[in-house]
Structures are given as structure tokens and as C-alpha cells.
Structure 1
Amino acid sequence: MSQRPGAPAGPTASSVTLPLTVRDLLPADLPSCGWAGTPLHLANVARQLDRARRGEVDYLAVCTPSGAPVAKCGIDYRVREGAGTLWQLAVLPALQSCGIGGLLVSAAERRIVGRGLSRAELSVEEDNPRARALYERLGYTAYGQETESWDQQGPDGVVRRHEAVCTLMRKELERPL
């Protein structure tokens, strides 16, 4: 394969702009969410969608024009009194640092305000400084720490209990007048 004379060597960069929408995550979306975690994690997300049908949580997805989810997060209204707690936030790895996480968190905050609440909370693992920096840029402040644990499936398929020290963060939200 020959290169055109005067053309730069190697790959070239270009950009594409796509409109994204935020909507409720649906059970039909789960097969296309393998990027978000293991089958064990996706089974948990399916259980959370059952809770969403009962109104206990909201579960959001950021989607491309084709409807494919590229980010997701849950909002639990039963964790802390008077707050919506964001959890299971994930952005397709190839699209991280493109503003999609901020778009998702903003949409989640609007859902929380829509429920008549004025505070959003979340926890971030101590070993995830990029996520913590995002939340701080979005106005979240740390107020404590706690150890959290959950089942995690390893690459070998074995399920082990994962434990992590997490920073608790919150943000006061303004209700529209």
C-alpha cells in the first residue's frame, strides 16, 4: 500500500459530533451494556430496573442516535433521607473524558429535583481520582468516608467480595422557582 505524496505518515485524527439523549435505561438495553461490567454486574442492573418500575430508583442511560447506551447511572431515593444517591455510574471507556459523565450527572440531578429533593449524594472509591475530580468540578464536596463492599466477578469468572474505602460527597441542588 503506497501513501499519497505529501500526506502525513500514520493515522490522522478527526472529530465527529453526535447528538446524545438521556432517557430511562430499559431491560432491552442490557445486552448492549457489556462494556459497563461483568454478567454479575448486569444481573444487578436488571434487579435495579425492577426497583425502577416500583418507583424506588431511577436508572438513566445516555444514548447515541441509534439508541445504544454509552453511559448509565442509578439514583436511589432510599439510601439517605432527603437525597437522591447516585450510584453505578459508568461511561463507555472509549468515550470517557468527553463530557458524557457530566451530562449524565446533570440529568440525574434534574431527576432528583423533580422528586422534590434538594440534595444529591454519591460515593467514590479512594483509588478513582479521575471520577472524584469530575464530581468536584460539578460542585460536589466531600463530607466523610465509609467502607463499602459488593460482589465482584473476576476475569476468571470467580465471584469475590470486593471492599473499598469510599469518599462520601454531596451537592445542594437548587429547585426551580
Structure 2
Amino acid sequence: MTAVVVELSARDLTHADLESCAWAGSPVHLASVARQLDRARLGEVDYLAVCPPSGLPVAIGGVDYRAREGVGTLWQLTVHPALRSCGIGTFLVHAAEGRVRARGLRRAELSVEETNPRARALYDRLGYVASGRRPESWDELAPDGSVRHYETVCTVMSKDLESGVPRRWTHESD
């Protein structure tokens, strides 16, 4: 087995990045991300890109500081499908938590769809604790090009933040 070390960095996502993020969701979703970047300019949210040395995003996600008073709410977290289960999601969550701490906040919160056990397992491993349930909804592009309304039930999870953000990511492969 050979260890492959890939340097990752977390930076602000930009409008220019969106053309290389088609893997992250439908055009409707990416239009929503573009609107969130406008909110980032106002300081209401942070929207992060996790990148290898190429500078192209392999994971993206936001932190909303207005969703709940005194809490950084992580949302729209996603990793490129070909790179899932490699530790990049962990890196993204830690980077987002770092942004929350930098704002002087000590609590992070997120919602995970109850039909997404892999994401729930990640958040459990990272120390998030279920604190409730709530319905959520959004619009998404259907395969036929129409926009459909999506509704789901999410588990709300929260975490008291401590110091320490990983600087390196290692993945062992054959």
C-alpha cells in the first residue's frame, strides 16, 4: 500500500469557480450558490472551496451566520462524487468550523437528511450531536428540465467547538 499525501486548502468560493462545480448540483442549485456568494460579500455567510494544488474546488459548502443567533450554521456541504470517503468532507467541516471560531462563535449546527446515513455517520464521528428534527425544502432541476419542489425531514445536529483545524490530508491507496 502506498500513502498519497495531497495538500488541500480551504478558501472562499468565487463566482469564477462555479463553472468548474457542475458536479456539485443542478443549474438551479448552482444559481442558489451564486446568490449565497452575494451574501458572502455582505458578511452574512462564508462559502468555502476545498482545493488541491490545481486550485479547482473538490468540495464546497457554506456557513450561515444569520440562520440562528450565536451559531454558525453549516449547509450545502458537498464533495465531488469521485472523491467521497477520502477525508475531504472532514477537511471541509473542520475548515467551516474554523470560520465559525474566527467569528468568535463557539457553536456550529447543521441539518442532515434522514435519508443520508453516510453524511450522518460523518457528523457523528466529528462530534455533532442530534438535537432535533425539522422539515426542509428546496427547488431542484428534474431530469426533464422542469423545476420540482423537494421536501425532506432533517436531523438537526450541533457541536461545541474546540481549537484545531487539520492542515494536511492523507489517503492510503493500493
Q: Same fold (TM over 0.5)?
A: yes
Question: Which one-letter code corresponds to 2:157 in the other structure?
Answer: M
Contact 1:118 1:175 in 2 (8 A): no
Please, what is the CA RMSD of the aligned residues? 1.5
Question: Are positions 1:40 and 2:28 aligned together?
Answer: yes
Gaps spanning 5+ residues in structure 2: where?
165-174
Question: Which one-letter code corresponds to 1:133 in the other structure?
Answer: A
- The residue number in structure 2 matching 1:30 is 18
Question: Which one-letter code corresponds to 1:103 in the other structure?
Answer: F
Q: Which of residues 61, 84, 104 is equivalent to 2:72?
A: 84
- 1:135-150 superposed matches below 5 A: 135-150=123-138
Over the matched positions of the two proteins, sequence identity in percent amounts to: 68
State the aligned residue count: 164
TM-score of the two chains, using structure 2 as the length reference? 0.91
Q: Give, in angstroms, the shift of residue 14 of structure 1.
A: 7.2
- The residue number in structure 1 matching 2:104 is 116
Structure 1 runs of 4+ aligned residues shifted over 4 Å read 13-16
- The residue number in structure 2 matching 1:129 is 117
Q: Secondary structure at the match of 1:157?
A: coil
- The residue number in structure 1 matching 2:42 is 54
- More relative contact order in 1 or in 2 (CA 8 Å, sep 6+)? 2
Q: Give, in angstroms, the shift of residue 18 of structure 1.
A: 2.2
Contact 1:144 1:168 in 2 (8 A): yes
Question: Which one-letter code corresponds to 2:84 in the other structure?
Answer: Q
TM-score of the two chains, using structure 1 as the length reference? 0.89
Q: Which of residues 61, 68, 83 is equivalent to 1:95?
A: 83
Structure whose alpha-carbon radius of gyration is higher:
1
Q: Give, in angstroms, the shift of residue 174 of structure 1.
A: 2.9
